[in-house]
Structure 1
Amino acid sequence: VDGARGADRMLGGGGGDWLIEGPIDEASKDTLSAGDGDDIIITDHVPAVKDLLSCGSGFDRAIVDRKDVVADDCERVRVVHGSEEEVFEQEGAFFESIPPAVSEFFFGTFWDGLAPDPTGGLEG
């Protein structure tokens, strides 16, 4: 689920979810609840913006900025900071730390099962 721009309330389902609250330069407050399952949640911004995040059951991984409020049920949390370039480097390290079986699900099986983007990948 991609929140894109603007304030969002996002809710994951019962399986593994990928929640991203929007572009890195977005400045609105978002509320995300990943739900059950092993989830990946991305809520980092440059500059940092306060988002609210809960993960639910399962083993969840989140990449957040220093202003985010993260519930205790998020098992692996990486807090990023610095310039946009530094944050992108830290995101890279975060994604490299994801075990192969999990990354195969999200970057292989999961994406392959999605319908084509009706906007052609354009953000409005």
Structure 2
Amino acid sequence: MVATNETPTSPEDEQAPGQVLGDLIMQLEDYVPTVPDAVSARFLNAAGFEATDPRIIRLMSVAAQKFISDIANDSLQHCKTRTSNTQHSSGHGSSKSQKLSKDRKYTLAMEDLTPALADYGITVRKPQYFV
């Protein structure tokens, strides 16, 4: 007999995948995503997707919001890694500088955003500078 950490569930506790999706779609009626519905609808239409149900557009808005949030979070992690590497290499490893780094405000920079986007298959190149 193999022991598992799963708790036994009754058939009433399990939902069909279609019901879970239906519940999610119903919850989207009252949800206001960060990416406005009009923006999502515009980009969906430009890509050739016609949706008459506003909940479907809102679902795409939530997916876009999650994608943007993941990229921003990854960029922040790149920034923290980069700044911690520069602090350790410059010899500022005292407890005072560690306290300052906890209160530090970060700025989104291209040098942090570029590798984060590369993780998602998006290549960003700086344009040539013309004088």
- TM-score under structure 1 length normalisation: 0.22
Greater C-alpha Rg: 2
* Structure 1 or 2: more helix by fraction: 2
Normalization by structure 2: what TM-score? 0.21
More strand by share: 1
Q: Which structure is richer in relative contact order (CA contacts within 8 A, separation 6 or more)? A: 2
